Each structure stands twice: as structure tokens, then as C-alpha cells.
Structure 1
Amino acid sequence: MARPRHATFDKKKIVAENRRARFDYAIEETFEAGIALTGTEVKSLRGGEGSIAESYAEVKDDQAWLINSNIPEFSHGNRFNHEPKRPRKLLLHGREIEKLFGAVSRQGMTLVPLSIYFNSQGRAKVELALAKGRKHHDKREYEKEKDWKREQGRLLRQHG
């Protein structure tokens, strides 16, 4: 029997983060996915380089792919260097891939990478979110709610 998954993932070193995603999308569910990388890509990520600001994920042929993520070439990589914006395979269980594919095709949701990080075993992982796009008025409402929570915390600290 499989062990239950933790609500938060064991993030030791966050390399790249998509901060805009939580503002632009309403996050429904998050998944932790492994990522298939070459040696020079891992070295670049360990150096703290990489960006997932404009990237997204998609399911093609029963496989999940990370599209448009930028991991710059490794400075000492010579002829064995990688292509910076190549599609990278995401490593997920079959059931998870089917669930993601169903949500994207039927419910019109989007797969958004939230962060790339190294876990406690030193493996590169992607935090992937199943999300629904926010409309302009939803973004304004989200911003008001966030400001109110911040103000509420301030008031509680002062008078508590």
C-alpha cells in the first residue's frame, strides 16, 4: 500500500520560482514531478541558474513535458552542452498523468510549474500546479483579500 503524500514538499534548495503564477491562476492542486535532465543542465541548476517564468506543462502521448523553461548553458560544458529552451520530460506516475490530462482536456485547466528545486536527496524536482486562469476582476479581488489579511495580521500584532 502506498504511503500518503505530504501536503508540502521537502524543498532544500529552490532554484527557480514562478511568483506570477499564484497571481494569474487559481491553484487547485499541486504535484511533485521529477524532471529528466542532462548532466550540464543539472550543473547549471546547481549554480542557481534557470527560469520558469514563461513556461508551462502539457501532456502528449501519455507523457508530461515542461515547455519553454530556460536553463542556460553550463559555462564549462564545451561540446556536450545542452540546448537552453528544449522541452524536458516530467516524471510522474501513470495515474497522475491521466488525471492531469483529463483535467486539462475536459475542465479547461492549465498545468503551471510553480518552482524547480532540489529535494533532500539532491534530485531536481518541479512543483507543478493544476490551475484555472483568473479573470481581471478576480485578480483585483485576490489582491484586496491579500491586502486585508496582511492588515489583519498587523492589527493583531499591535493589539494582541
Structure 2
Amino acid sequence: IMRFSSIKIGKELEVKVNTPYLEKPLYDLAISMDITEKVGHHKDKNWGKFVLRKAFAKELGTIVWRTKMALEQGSGFEQISNKFYRLIDDEEFAKESNIVAHEKVKVRDKEHLYYYRIYKSLFGSPINEICNSPRCSFCSAPLTYPRYCYTCGAFPPR
């Protein structure tokens, strides 16, 4: 399930977890700033967190202009992802993707199918969950937040 659990883990371990982007002083500052301070243009590209990039450009050099990478890139996690491609052959993937499609779940790749199998074994198919809210168009889970699916990570989920 796609949630950052650092605060919950911190409480369990009795460790204070700071979330600077969610704390009131920084939040209030960000709300008070003009959009041009938050999003700016540098070397033919628009950049978010622009004021932070400008503030630390001298100390960090070109690293402040590094593009965002997926968490698994550079951490070695992609090696685990490759394992799923060896575990599920193409015929099995095609067949099971069609079955899952009847549950209104769009399986992206073999890794996604592997995780969906685990999810379904624990919670059942999301389409069977009783729900009075809109559903994610990728996994059919109920949406508690309209811009992001906490179940599959879809952004936007509709």
C-alpha cells in the first residue's frame, strides 16, 4: 500500500520524525510565496522547489538541478524487479492479465502482477470491496484522496 509510514514507525520506535514540508512554519511560508518563487525556469526546463534549488545552488552545485529519480533507481532495487520478469513467463502474464482485467485491475507489468497476487490473497479483489466513493481507474480500489491512489500509487487515479 502506497503510504509513507515513517511517522508511524517513528512512534513505534519512540523516535521523533520530522516532516519539514508538512510543518506549519514552512507550510505557511510556502502558501505566502508567489508561484514564480516555487516553480521557475533554468536551462530550458521548468523546475519545482525552485526557491530551495536557488538557495543551495552555491553549496551543492549542479546536484540541485538533478532530475527526480524513482526511489529504486540507484539503490539496487531494480535487481529485485528483474527477478519478477524471470518468475512469470510471457504466456502466464498475458493469460493472468486478461483474468485480472475482468476484476477491473490494469496490470502494468510482471512485477505489478506479482504484487497484485499477494494483495489479492490477503484482501481479495478491490472490485468486491463495498464503497460509496469513486474508484481508481487502474486498480478499482476506493479513492480516499481524489488525486492519488493509496492502493496502487496511480497519479492521477482517474
Q: TM-score range by the shorter chain?
A: under 0.3
Alignment TM-score, normalising by the size of structure 1: 0.23
Kindly indicate which of the two structures has a greater share of residues assigned to helix.
2
Task: Give 1 or 2 for the bigger CA radius of gyration.
Answer: 2
Kindly indicate which of the two structures has a greater share of residues assigned to strand.
1
- The structure with higher relative contact order (CA 8 Å, sep 6+) is 1
